Every structure is written in C-alpha cells, then in structure tokens.
A and B are shown apart, each in its own frame.
Chain A
Amino acid sequence: MPSHHPSEEMLMDYAAGSLAEAPALLVATHLALCPECRHRVSAFEALGGVLLEELSPAPLGAEALDAVLARLDDPAALEPPPRTPRATVTAAPATPPRPAPLLPEPLRSYAGGDPDTIAWRRVIGGIEEHVLPVARTDFKACLYRIAPGVVVPRHTHGRSEMLLVLEGAVRDRGMRFGRGDVSFADGGIDHSPAAEPERPCICLAVLDGPLRLTGPIGRWLNRFVKL
C-alpha cells in the first residue's frame, strides 16, 4: 500500500468535482492503488450528499416533472456517452491469463497502453516523456521514464509539481517514493528527484505552470528543453 497520499484537500476537491482534469487523473490513478484513499473519497462524497440535502431548494418550472416523466421511456433521450480521453486504447491481444497491466485505469486509457507499447520522446539523457491528452493547457500531464540512477536536473516550479510513481522508486528530499506514492513539490521548492539505481522509474507527472531548471547546467538546458 502507498505511504505518501494526496492531501486531504485534494481528495475533497476530487470528490467535490472541482479538481481540474490533470490533477484528477493523478488522484484517480492513486485511488486505483490505494483502498485507504478510496475510503476517504467516499466519505467526502457522503459530505457532498449531505450538503446537497441542506441546500435551499430552487423552484423549477411547474411543467418540469411532467417533462421528465414524458422522457422516461424515450430511447433518444439517452444520456450522452461519457467523454473519453482522446488517446485510443490498443486492443488487448486475446491471449490467456496475462499479468495485471502496469498502469491502472484511468491512466492506461489516457496513455493508450502500457509503457512497453507506447511511444516515448527523449527529453534529456536518461529521461523520456509521453505527453497525455488533458483538456486544459495550463496543466501538463505526462509519463516520465527515468533511467536507473538518473537525477532530474535541479529545478523550481512556477507553481507546483505532482508525481505519482508507477514503477521503480524515486528519492527526493530525503524520502523514498515507490509504486502508488504521491510526491508534491510546491512552487518555491528547489529539488532534484532521482531514480533509484536498481531499475528504471516510471511516473505520472502533473505540472501546473512552467518549470525552470535552476542549476548552472539547468539554466543552460532551459533554452532547449521544456520539461
């Protein structure tokens, strides 16, 4: 079970429906790996139900109920299909029992498959990325594949960075983050997370605002890369 969880406010915002798509993707993927946080989110949904009960009713038109009753059996009034991420899911080959996929849903559908089947783009030596389709452009969501032992150049953030580790582990600011763990770096934090030396690390990153490299090499790299 993960030991680093999203903050309680973030779980509440996810339950309330006010979290933007990119951080909601990170929270939902953590939930797939963390029954404890699923329990917390259910509790926040119960709070939403109680608050709904307590709202002062707003009157509807007199014909509103009749209008709905008239539509109950109308097959054309079926609700719109749920919005699915733009990436298409590669059909699973019909082979008998396979190991569970590395990426849980909803992340797997956003990525279009598991890490060994999707396209990666080299960012800098030892770091590759796969950008994920999310609605808003003020967030960036991507998968990073970091080679064993590689240190992400020192950087600070315009606003914030969230990482969810999916494979391997990251060390950052004296802590270890393994599968399912969430690391949160606020705007002002200057840090350089590193993949553990034993194996590559795959993580989901959600960046809110631009990211700036701060070390001397990083400042030079800023001109070439957009992490």
Chain B
Amino acid sequence: MSDTRSDEGRAPNDLLLAVARGGDRAAFSALFRHFAPRLKAYLTRLGAEGALADELVQEVMLTVWRRAGDFDPAQASAATWIFTIARNRRIDGLRREARPEIDPSDPALVPGAPEAADRAIETSQDTARLHAAIAGLPGEQSELLRLAYYEDQPHSAIAERTGLPLGTVKSRLRLALGRLRRTLVDE
C-alpha cells in the first residue's frame, strides 16, 4: 500500500521507465490512475461513447504496458508518447483508417542531424514551456487549439461549432501557432 502511495507522487516519465525496465505493476497502476481518465476524456470528445471509450482506454493502456520498452525520454515526454498511442488507436478504432507513417529504418529516409546528448533534459524543459505558453494564450485561441486536437474535421468543424467563418478560424489558429512557435520549434 505504501508503495502505491509513493508511486502516485512520481513523475510519469519515471513511472513509464520503471514499467519498461521491470514490468513494474505498481508503477503501471499509478500511470493508469493518472492517464486513463484523461484518455477517456480525449476519446469521448472524439466520439467514443460509454463502453467503447472504456474499451479503447484499456487498449491504449495495454499498448503502453507492452511497448514501454520503446519509450525514449530523449524523444518525448511520457504524456506525448501516450498521446501518440491514443491518437493512433482512435484513427484505427474510431475512423477505421490507416495512419501513414515513416519507417525510421527505410533506406530512402533522409536522416536528420544527430540529437544532442542532453536531449532528455531539453524535452522536459520544452514541456514546461509549452504548459506556460498555452496558459498565456488568450482564451479564444487556446480553445481553438484544443478543438484542433479533438475534432476529426478540424477546421470546418471548428467553424461550424463556433459559428465563425472558416477564414477567421484559420487566422486565429495561425495567431495561436505564431505565439507558440518560439516555444514549439525555434528554441
């Protein structure tokens, strides 16, 4: 019991690494308690109802358990890594489409510059900056960003839902992205 309690306070990255290293069930349970309700909110907003949302959440968390060994804190935070699993599961499970993706081992892939050794620290700093940058956006812009991540036909659906002309949606999104750009890309 005391184990579980101390796990709740650990950072998601550490929990996920503990799962990857030794199949740590207490760490996995803590990850589940943190992420499963957020995944359910995410999948519900994307149209999964009731039991289907719960089933998809279970599948995402099972994938987290099985693929934990692929998690690389230098590439992404635990939340980002879990987000990409949930995103792929909803494309497959809710929209019934394939998600075309690069193959990192493809000889035709043009390689990028090698990552710096301290990339894991940078990644966690990026995450903190992103939280702050989103909090600093005007409400209408941060709401549009959320809709862009939680709608299937993003721009036209946003226009419909907000009653704004499509051009206004696009220019507001562009404004929001402009404000995030320094955090997202340039730093």
Contacts and interface: CB of A to CB of B under 8 A. Distances in A.
A174 interface: no
A52 B82 contact: yes
Nearest to A48: B83
B37 interface: yes
B40 A48 contact: no
Interface in A56-77: 56-61, 64-65, 67-69, 71-72, 77
B80 interface: yes
Contacts, number: 212
B58 A31 contact: no
User: Which secondary structure dominates chain B's binding surface?
Assistant: helix
Contacts of A57: 37-38, 40-41
A30 B59 CA distance: 30
User: Which secondary structure dominates chain A's binding surface?
Assistant: helix
Interface stretch (A13-21, A122-130, A188-196, A215-223): A13-21
Contacts of B63: 79
Interface in B54-99: 54, 57-59, 61-63, 65-66, 75-77, 79-84, 86-88, 90-92, 96-99
B130 A100 contact: no
Interface of B: 25, 28-29, 32-33, 35-42, 44-45, 53-54, 57-59, 61-63, 65-66, 75-77, 79-84, 86-88, 90-92, 96-103, 106-113, 123, 126-127, 130-131, 134, 145-146, 148-149, 151-155, 170, 173-174, 177, 180, 184-185
9 contacts: A16-B154, A20-B97, A21-B97, A43-B126, A48-B80, A53-B38, A58-B41, A60-B40, A72-B62
